[in-house]
Chains A and B, each alone.
Chain A
Amino acid sequence: MEILETVFVRNSLVVAFAVIGITIWLSYFLADRLTNGRIHGSAIAIALGLVAAYFGGRATGGSTGVADITLLGGIGLMGGGMMRDFAIVATAFGVKLSELKKAGLAGVVSIFAGVVVSFIVGAVVAVLYGYTDPVTVTTIGAGAVTYIVGPVTGSALGAESDIIALSVAAGLIKSILVMIGTPLVAKSIGLDNPQSAMVFGGLMGTTSGVAAGLAATDPKLVPYGAMTATFYTGIGCLLGPSILFFIVNAVL
Protein backbone atom coordinates (compact mmCIF):
# COMPACT_ATOMS: atom_id res chain seq x y z
CA MET A 1 0.00 0.00 0.00
CA GLU A 2 2.82 2.33 0.90
CA ILE A 3 4.65 1.47 -2.31
CA LEU A 4 1.47 2.12 -4.28
CA GLU A 5 1.02 5.50 -2.66
CA THR A 6 4.65 6.49 -3.23
CA VAL A 7 4.50 5.61 -6.92
CA PHE A 8 1.09 7.25 -7.46
CA VAL A 9 2.00 10.46 -5.68
CA ARG A 10 5.40 10.77 -7.32
CA ASN A 11 3.85 10.28 -10.76
CA SER A 12 0.59 12.06 -10.12
CA LEU A 13 0.14 13.64 -13.55
CA VAL A 14 0.88 10.34 -15.30
CA VAL A 15 -1.66 8.61 -13.06
CA ALA A 16 -4.19 11.27 -14.05
CA PHE A 17 -3.58 10.62 -17.78
CA ALA A 18 -4.23 6.91 -17.21
CA VAL A 19 -7.30 7.40 -15.03
CA ILE A 20 -8.88 9.92 -17.40
CA GLY A 21 -8.05 7.70 -20.36
CA ILE A 22 -9.84 4.75 -18.76
CA THR A 23 -12.79 6.98 -17.83
CA ILE A 24 -13.15 8.20 -21.40
CA TRP A 25 -12.86 4.67 -22.80
CA LEU A 26 -15.58 3.52 -20.42
CA SER A 27 -17.75 6.53 -21.33
CA TYR A 28 -17.51 5.92 -25.06
CA PHE A 29 -18.24 2.23 -24.45
CA LEU A 30 -21.37 3.16 -22.46
CA ALA A 31 -22.42 5.77 -25.03
CA ASP A 32 -22.15 3.16 -27.75
CA ARG A 33 -23.82 0.24 -25.98
CA LEU A 34 -26.43 1.88 -23.76
CA THR A 35 -27.49 4.90 -25.81
CA ASN A 36 -26.58 3.69 -29.31
CA GLY A 37 -24.40 6.77 -29.73
CA ARG A 38 -27.29 9.15 -29.08
CA ILE A 39 -25.49 10.66 -26.09
CA HIS A 40 -21.95 11.80 -26.88
CA GLY A 41 -19.24 9.79 -25.11
CA SER A 42 -17.59 12.96 -23.83
CA ALA A 43 -20.90 14.09 -22.30
CA ILE A 44 -20.96 10.88 -20.27
CA ALA A 45 -17.29 11.30 -19.34
CA ILE A 46 -17.93 14.85 -18.09
CA ALA A 47 -20.98 13.71 -16.12
CA LEU A 48 -18.93 10.87 -14.60
CA GLY A 49 -16.25 13.42 -13.68
CA LEU A 50 -18.81 15.61 -11.90
CA VAL A 51 -20.29 12.65 -10.02
CA ALA A 52 -16.79 11.56 -8.98
CA ALA A 53 -16.05 15.14 -7.91
CA TYR A 54 -19.13 15.09 -5.70
CA PHE A 55 -18.09 11.88 -3.93
CA GLY A 56 -14.47 13.02 -3.77
CA GLY A 57 -15.57 16.23 -2.10
CA ARG A 58 -17.87 14.39 0.30
CA ALA A 59 -15.14 11.91 1.24
CA THR A 60 -12.33 14.40 1.78
CA GLY A 61 -14.16 17.62 2.69
CA GLY A 62 -11.88 19.44 0.24
CA SER A 63 -12.82 21.92 -2.45
CA THR A 64 -11.29 20.34 -5.56
CA GLY A 65 -13.35 17.17 -5.91
CA VAL A 66 -11.44 14.05 -6.85
CA ALA A 67 -8.12 15.92 -6.77
CA ASP A 68 -8.24 16.00 -2.96
CA ILE A 69 -7.87 12.22 -2.86
CA THR A 70 -4.14 11.66 -2.34
CA LEU A 71 -3.80 9.00 -5.02
CA LEU A 72 -5.56 11.14 -7.63
CA GLY A 73 -3.89 14.49 -6.93
CA GLY A 74 -2.64 14.71 -10.52
CA ILE A 75 -6.19 15.29 -11.75
CA GLY A 76 -5.96 18.66 -10.06
CA LEU A 77 -3.00 19.61 -12.25
CA MET A 78 -4.39 18.04 -15.42
CA GLY A 79 -7.79 19.71 -15.00
CA GLY A 80 -6.44 22.96 -13.56
CA GLY A 81 -6.62 26.38 -15.13
CA MET A 82 -3.17 26.21 -16.75
CA MET A 83 -3.76 23.02 -18.73
CA ARG A 84 -7.34 24.00 -19.50
CA ASP A 85 -6.31 27.33 -21.01
CA PHE A 86 -3.40 25.74 -22.89
CA ALA A 87 -5.69 23.18 -24.50
CA ILE A 88 -8.42 25.76 -25.21
CA VAL A 89 -5.94 27.98 -27.06
CA ALA A 90 -4.73 24.94 -29.02
CA THR A 91 -8.28 24.34 -30.30
CA ALA A 92 -8.06 27.68 -32.13
CA PHE A 93 -5.49 26.09 -34.46
CA GLY A 94 -7.09 25.84 -37.87
CA VAL A 95 -9.86 28.32 -37.15
CA LYS A 96 -10.59 30.62 -40.08
CA LEU A 97 -10.27 34.32 -39.41
CA SER A 98 -13.29 35.00 -41.63
CA GLU A 99 -15.57 32.95 -39.34
CA LEU A 100 -14.49 35.06 -36.37
CA LYS A 101 -15.08 38.32 -38.22
CA LYS A 102 -18.53 37.21 -39.34
CA ALA A 103 -19.68 36.55 -35.78
CA GLY A 104 -17.63 39.29 -34.17
CA LEU A 105 -20.42 41.81 -33.59
CA ALA A 106 -22.96 39.24 -32.35
CA GLY A 107 -20.21 37.84 -30.13
CA VAL A 108 -19.52 41.20 -28.48
CA VAL A 109 -23.25 41.90 -28.03
CA SER A 110 -23.70 38.47 -26.45
CA ILE A 111 -21.00 39.08 -23.81
CA PHE A 112 -22.67 42.21 -22.46
CA ALA A 113 -26.18 40.77 -22.83
CA GLY A 114 -25.06 37.60 -21.06
CA VAL A 115 -23.55 39.39 -18.07
CA VAL A 116 -26.50 41.74 -17.64
CA VAL A 117 -29.20 39.10 -18.12
CA SER A 118 -27.64 36.56 -15.74
CA PHE A 119 -27.11 39.33 -13.20
CA ILE A 120 -30.73 40.48 -13.39
CA VAL A 121 -32.02 36.91 -13.05
CA GLY A 122 -29.80 36.27 -10.01
CA ALA A 123 -30.73 39.60 -8.41
CA VAL A 124 -34.46 39.04 -8.95
CA VAL A 125 -34.22 35.58 -7.37
CA ALA A 126 -32.41 37.12 -4.37
CA VAL A 127 -35.18 39.72 -3.99
CA LEU A 128 -37.85 37.01 -4.26
CA TYR A 129 -36.08 35.20 -1.42
CA GLY A 130 -36.55 38.29 0.73
CA TYR A 131 -33.16 40.01 0.45
CA THR A 132 -33.43 43.80 0.19
CA ASP A 133 -29.89 44.94 1.02
CA PRO A 134 -28.33 46.24 -2.25
CA VAL A 135 -24.89 44.77 -1.45
CA THR A 136 -26.38 41.31 -0.87
CA VAL A 137 -28.62 41.42 -3.93
CA THR A 138 -25.73 42.61 -6.12
CA THR A 139 -23.42 39.88 -4.81
CA ILE A 140 -25.95 37.10 -5.47
CA GLY A 141 -26.72 38.55 -8.91
CA ALA A 142 -22.98 38.62 -9.66
CA GLY A 143 -22.75 34.98 -8.54
CA ALA A 144 -25.30 34.08 -11.23
CA VAL A 145 -22.86 35.66 -13.70
CA THR A 146 -19.98 33.33 -12.75
CA TYR A 147 -18.55 31.91 -9.55
CA ILE A 148 -15.59 34.27 -9.97
CA VAL A 149 -17.60 37.45 -10.54
CA GLY A 150 -19.66 36.71 -7.40
CA PRO A 151 -16.84 36.75 -4.84
CA VAL A 152 -14.93 39.52 -6.65
CA THR A 153 -18.01 41.75 -6.55
CA GLY A 154 -18.94 40.66 -3.02
CA SER A 155 -15.54 41.45 -1.56
CA ALA A 156 -15.34 44.75 -3.43
CA LEU A 157 -18.67 45.79 -1.88
CA GLY A 158 -17.97 44.29 1.55
CA ALA A 159 -20.64 41.58 1.52
CA GLU A 160 -20.98 39.03 4.36
CA SER A 161 -18.98 35.85 3.85
CA ASP A 162 -22.06 33.59 3.85
CA ILE A 163 -23.52 35.70 1.04
CA ILE A 164 -20.28 35.39 -0.89
CA ALA A 165 -20.42 31.61 -0.39
CA LEU A 166 -23.99 31.69 -1.68
CA SER A 167 -22.92 33.59 -4.79
CA VAL A 168 -20.15 31.06 -5.44
CA ALA A 169 -22.70 28.23 -5.10
CA ALA A 170 -25.04 29.91 -7.61
CA GLY A 171 -22.16 30.28 -10.08
CA LEU A 172 -21.12 26.64 -9.60
CA ILE A 173 -24.68 25.44 -10.24
CA LYS A 174 -24.72 27.51 -13.42
CA SER A 175 -21.39 26.09 -14.57
CA ILE A 176 -22.40 22.48 -13.89
CA LEU A 177 -25.77 22.91 -15.57
CA VAL A 178 -24.14 24.37 -18.69
CA MET A 179 -21.76 21.37 -18.82
CA ILE A 180 -24.61 18.86 -18.65
CA GLY A 181 -27.44 20.78 -20.30
CA THR A 182 -25.71 22.11 -23.44
CA PRO A 183 -25.72 18.86 -25.46
CA LEU A 184 -29.37 18.34 -24.51
CA VAL A 185 -30.60 21.74 -25.75
CA ALA A 186 -28.05 22.30 -28.55
CA LYS A 187 -30.45 21.38 -31.36
CA SER A 188 -33.38 23.44 -30.13
CA ILE A 189 -31.29 26.62 -29.69
CA GLY A 190 -29.58 26.24 -33.07
CA LEU A 191 -26.14 25.60 -31.61
CA ASP A 192 -24.57 24.02 -34.68
CA ASN A 193 -22.41 26.68 -36.35
CA PRO A 194 -19.48 28.95 -35.42
CA GLN A 195 -21.64 32.05 -35.14
CA SER A 196 -24.16 30.60 -32.67
CA ALA A 197 -21.26 29.01 -30.76
CA MET A 198 -19.67 32.45 -30.29
CA VAL A 199 -22.99 33.87 -29.12
CA PHE A 200 -23.44 30.86 -26.84
CA GLY A 201 -19.99 31.39 -25.26
CA GLY A 202 -20.71 35.06 -24.72
CA LEU A 203 -24.11 34.44 -23.17
CA MET A 204 -23.11 31.60 -20.84
CA GLY A 205 -19.69 32.95 -19.99
CA THR A 206 -18.61 30.31 -17.52
CA THR A 207 -15.38 29.13 -19.18
CA SER A 208 -15.55 25.67 -17.59
CA GLY A 209 -19.23 25.25 -18.43
CA VAL A 210 -18.81 26.42 -22.02
CA ALA A 211 -15.64 24.39 -22.49
CA ALA A 212 -17.28 21.17 -21.31
CA GLY A 213 -20.72 21.85 -22.78
CA LEU A 214 -19.38 22.44 -26.29
CA ALA A 215 -16.96 19.52 -26.04
CA ALA A 216 -19.93 17.27 -25.35
CA THR A 217 -21.93 18.81 -28.21
CA ASP A 218 -19.48 19.25 -31.07
CA PRO A 219 -15.73 19.71 -30.48
CA LYS A 220 -15.49 21.77 -33.69
CA LEU A 221 -17.47 24.55 -31.99
CA VAL A 222 -15.17 24.75 -28.96
CA PRO A 223 -12.77 27.49 -30.14
CA TYR A 224 -15.60 29.83 -31.13
CA GLY A 225 -17.47 29.51 -27.84
CA ALA A 226 -14.31 29.64 -25.74
CA MET A 227 -13.11 32.80 -27.47
CA THR A 228 -16.05 34.92 -26.29
CA ALA A 229 -16.51 33.13 -22.97
CA THR A 230 -13.05 34.14 -21.79
CA PHE A 231 -13.99 37.83 -21.98
CA TYR A 232 -17.14 37.32 -19.97
CA THR A 233 -15.72 36.97 -16.47
CA GLY A 234 -13.54 40.05 -16.93
CA ILE A 235 -16.48 42.12 -18.17
CA GLY A 236 -18.55 40.76 -15.27
CA CYS A 237 -15.91 41.80 -12.74
CA LEU A 238 -15.87 45.21 -14.39
CA LEU A 239 -19.64 45.79 -14.38
CA GLY A 240 -20.60 43.99 -11.13
CA PRO A 241 -19.21 46.25 -8.42
CA SER A 242 -19.75 49.40 -10.51
CA ILE A 243 -22.67 50.04 -12.88
CA LEU A 244 -24.72 47.03 -11.86
CA PHE A 245 -24.35 47.86 -8.16
CA PHE A 246 -25.35 51.49 -8.77
CA ILE A 247 -28.46 50.35 -10.60
CA VAL A 248 -29.44 47.91 -7.84
CA ASN A 249 -28.77 50.61 -5.28
CA ALA A 250 -31.04 53.02 -7.12
CA VAL A 251 -33.84 50.48 -7.58
CA LEU A 252 -33.96 49.08 -4.02
Chain B
Amino acid sequence: MIVYGVALLSACLILGMLLGEALGVALNVEANVGGVGIAMLFLVLASNSDKFKSLVDGASGAGIQFWSAMYIPIVVAMAARQNVVAAFEGGMLAVVAGVAAVIVSFALVPVISKIGDSKVSIAEKQ
Protein backbone atom coordinates (compact mmCIF):
# COMPACT_ATOMS: atom_id res chain seq x y z
CA MET B 1 0.00 0.00 0.00
CA ILE B 2 1.35 3.37 -1.06
CA VAL B 3 0.12 5.03 2.09
CA TYR B 4 2.35 2.83 4.27
CA GLY B 5 5.43 4.38 2.71
CA VAL B 6 3.99 7.88 3.02
CA ALA B 7 3.12 7.20 6.66
CA LEU B 8 6.64 5.92 7.37
CA LEU B 9 8.07 9.07 5.76
CA SER B 10 5.74 11.23 7.85
CA ALA B 11 6.60 9.38 11.03
CA CYS B 12 10.32 9.89 10.35
CA LEU B 13 9.83 13.62 9.78
CA ILE B 14 7.69 14.13 12.88
CA LEU B 15 10.03 12.11 15.09
CA GLY B 16 13.05 13.98 13.72
CA MET B 17 11.37 17.36 14.19
CA LEU B 18 10.42 16.50 17.78
CA LEU B 19 14.02 15.51 18.55
CA GLY B 20 15.37 18.59 16.78
CA GLU B 21 13.01 20.80 18.77
CA ALA B 22 13.94 19.07 22.03
CA LEU B 23 17.62 19.51 21.16
CA GLY B 24 16.94 23.21 20.62
CA VAL B 25 15.30 23.51 24.04
CA ALA B 26 18.13 21.55 25.67
CA LEU B 27 20.73 23.85 24.11
CA ASN B 28 18.62 26.90 24.94
CA VAL B 29 18.40 27.85 21.26
CA GLU B 30 15.40 29.36 19.50
CA ALA B 31 15.62 26.94 16.59
CA ASN B 32 15.10 23.37 15.55
CA VAL B 33 18.53 21.75 15.67
CA GLY B 34 18.86 19.31 12.77
CA GLY B 35 15.30 17.98 12.88
CA VAL B 36 15.26 17.28 9.16
CA GLY B 37 18.73 15.72 9.24
CA ILE B 38 17.71 13.41 12.09
CA ALA B 39 14.53 12.50 10.18
CA MET B 40 16.65 11.62 7.14
CA LEU B 41 18.81 9.37 9.29
CA PHE B 42 15.69 7.56 10.51
CA LEU B 43 14.53 7.02 6.93
CA VAL B 44 17.98 5.76 5.88
CA LEU B 45 18.03 3.37 8.84
CA ALA B 46 14.49 2.18 8.12
CA SER B 47 15.15 1.66 4.42
CA ASN B 48 18.33 -0.31 5.18
CA SER B 49 16.71 -2.50 7.84
CA ASP B 50 14.88 -5.79 7.42
CA LYS B 51 12.25 -4.95 10.03
CA PHE B 52 10.77 -2.20 7.88
CA LYS B 53 10.98 -4.15 4.63
CA SER B 54 7.22 -4.25 4.13
CA LEU B 55 7.04 -0.45 4.52
CA VAL B 56 9.71 0.38 1.96
CA ASP B 57 9.39 -2.33 -0.72
CA GLY B 58 7.13 -2.32 -3.74
CA ALA B 59 4.10 -0.03 -3.67
CA SER B 60 4.97 1.31 -0.21
CA GLY B 61 8.36 2.41 -1.53
CA ALA B 62 6.62 4.14 -4.44
CA GLY B 63 4.85 6.34 -1.92
CA ILE B 64 8.22 7.58 -0.67
CA GLN B 65 9.70 7.80 -4.17
CA PHE B 66 6.82 10.01 -5.27
CA TRP B 67 7.67 12.64 -2.66
CA SER B 68 11.35 12.32 -3.44
CA ALA B 69 10.55 13.04 -7.10
CA MET B 70 8.35 16.00 -6.11
CA TYR B 71 11.40 17.53 -4.50
CA ILE B 72 12.48 19.68 -7.46
CA PRO B 73 8.98 21.07 -8.17
CA ILE B 74 8.66 21.91 -4.47
CA VAL B 75 12.04 23.65 -4.54
CA VAL B 76 10.90 25.69 -7.55
CA ALA B 77 7.79 26.74 -5.61
CA MET B 78 10.05 27.56 -2.67
CA ALA B 79 12.17 29.82 -4.92
CA ALA B 80 9.01 31.56 -6.12
CA ARG B 81 8.00 32.45 -2.57
CA GLN B 82 11.33 33.89 -1.38
CA ASN B 83 11.46 37.50 -0.26
CA VAL B 84 13.71 38.55 -3.14
CA VAL B 85 12.65 42.20 -2.88
CA ALA B 86 13.83 42.43 0.74
CA ALA B 87 17.14 40.84 -0.23
CA PHE B 88 17.87 43.66 -2.65
CA GLU B 89 16.46 46.42 -0.49
CA GLY B 90 19.06 45.74 2.20
CA GLY B 91 21.55 47.87 0.29
CA MET B 92 25.17 47.30 -0.58
CA LEU B 93 26.31 46.16 2.88
CA ALA B 94 23.88 43.22 2.77
CA VAL B 95 24.88 42.33 -0.78
CA VAL B 96 28.62 42.50 -0.02
CA ALA B 97 28.28 40.48 3.20
CA GLY B 98 26.11 37.83 1.53
CA VAL B 99 28.24 37.52 -1.61
CA ALA B 100 31.53 37.44 0.30
CA ALA B 101 30.24 34.74 2.68
CA VAL B 102 29.21 32.57 -0.28
CA ILE B 103 32.49 33.00 -2.17
CA VAL B 104 34.61 32.11 0.87
CA SER B 105 32.38 29.12 1.69
CA PHE B 106 32.52 27.85 -1.90
CA ALA B 107 36.32 28.08 -1.78
CA LEU B 108 36.42 25.98 1.40
CA VAL B 109 34.47 23.04 -0.07
CA PRO B 110 37.49 21.36 -1.74
CA VAL B 111 39.69 22.11 1.29
CA ILE B 112 37.44 20.49 3.90
CA SER B 113 36.51 17.62 1.57
CA LYS B 114 40.23 16.87 1.36
CA ILE B 115 40.69 16.90 5.16
CA GLY B 116 38.11 14.13 5.33
CA ASP B 117 39.79 12.26 2.49
CA SER B 118 43.23 12.25 4.06
CA LYS B 119 41.80 11.08 7.39
CA VAL B 120 40.04 8.22 5.63
CA SER B 121 43.15 7.21 3.74
CA ILE B 122 45.28 7.37 6.90
CA ALA B 123 42.77 5.16 8.67
CA GLU B 124 42.83 2.76 5.74
CA LYS B 125 46.64 2.60 5.76
CA GLN B 126 46.66 1.78 9.44
* B97 engages A143 (CB within 8 Å): yes
Judging by beta carbons under 8 Å apart, are A211 and B75 in contact?
yes
Taking a contact as CB atoms under 8 Å apart, the answer to whether B102 and A177 are in contact is: yes
Selected contact of B84 from candidates A65, A145, A174, CB within 8 Å: A65
The CA of A20 and the CA of B71, in the complex, are separated in Å by: 12
Q: Which of B23, B32, B99, B109 contacts A191 (CB 8 A)?
A: B109
Query: Looking at the complex, which one of B13, B85, B87 makes contact with A173 (CB distance below 8 Å)?
Result: B87
Partner of A176, one of B44, B76, B87, B96: B87
Min CB distance B117 to A, Å, is 7
Stretch of A2-10, A226-234, A244-252 that contacts chain B = A226-234
- Least distance between A153 CB and chain B CB atoms (Å): 10
Inter-chain contact A122/B29, CB cutoff 8 Å: no
Complex Cα spacing A114 to B102, Å: 10
| A122 CA / B107 CA spacing, docked (Å) | 16
Q: Kindly state the separation between the CA atoms of A110 and B111 in the bound complex, as whole angstroms.
A: 10
State which residues 1-43 of A face B: CB under 8 Å: 16-17, 20-21, 23-24, 42
**Inter-chain contact A190/B109, CB cutoff 8 Å:** yes
Shortest distance in angstroms between A235's beta carbon and chain B's nearest beta carbon?
7
Inter-chain CA distance A42–B76, complex, in Å, is: 8
Q: Is the CB of B70 within 8 A of A87?
A: yes
Once the chains bind, are A118 and B105 in contact (CB under 8 Å)? yes
Asked if A125 and B113 make an inter-chain contact with CB atoms under 8 angstroms apart, the answer reads no
Q: Is the CB of A189 within 8 A of B102?
A: no
Residue of A with least CB distance to B61:
A93
B126 within 8 A of A: no
CB distance from B67 to the nearest CB of A (A): 4
Bound: A100/B120 CA distance, A: 13
A179 to B79, CA, bound (A): 9
Interface size class on chain A is: 35 or more
CB–CB A238/B33 < 8 A: yes
Complex alpha-carbon distance, A152 and B31, angstroms: 9
Residues on the A chain within 8 Å of B48, using CB: 96-97
* A152–B36 CB distance below 8 A: no
Is the CB–CB distance between A172 and B87 below 8 Å?
A: yes
Name the B residues within 8 Å of A222 (CB-CB). Answer: 71
Say yes or no: A234 contacts B94, CB within 8 Å. no
A177 to B45 CA separation, bound complex (whole angstroms): 33
- Encode A78-117 as 1/0 by CB contact (under 8 A) with B: 1110011111111111111100101101110110011001
In the assembled complex, which residues on chain A have CB atoms less than 8 Å from the CB atom of B98? 144, 169-174, 177
Contact B24 A234 (CB under 8 A): yes
Considering only residues 40-63 of chain B, those with a C-beta below 8 Å from chain A are 40-41, 43-45, 47-48, 56, 61
Give chain B's interface residues, CB within 8 Å of chain A: 9-10, 12-13, 16-17, 20, 23-24, 27, 29-37, 39-41, 43-45, 47-48, 56, 61, 64-68, 70-91, 93-102, 104-110, 112-113, 115-117, 119-120
Seed contacts A48-B76, A125-B97, A174-B99; 17 additional CB < 8 Å A-B pairs: A42-B75, A49-B82, A64-B81, A65-B80, A78-B73, A90-B67, A92-B47, A94-B47, A96-B44, A152-B29, A165-B86, A172-B87, A173-B99, A189-B106, A204-B102, A230-B36, A238-B29
Jot down 6 A-B pairs with beta carbons below 8 A, ordered by A: A79-B74, A93-B61, A95-B44, A121-B97, A237-B24, A238-B29
Top 7 nearest A-B pairs (CB, nearest first) are: A169-B90, A106-B116, A173-B98, A234-B33, A79-B77, A49-B79, A172-B87
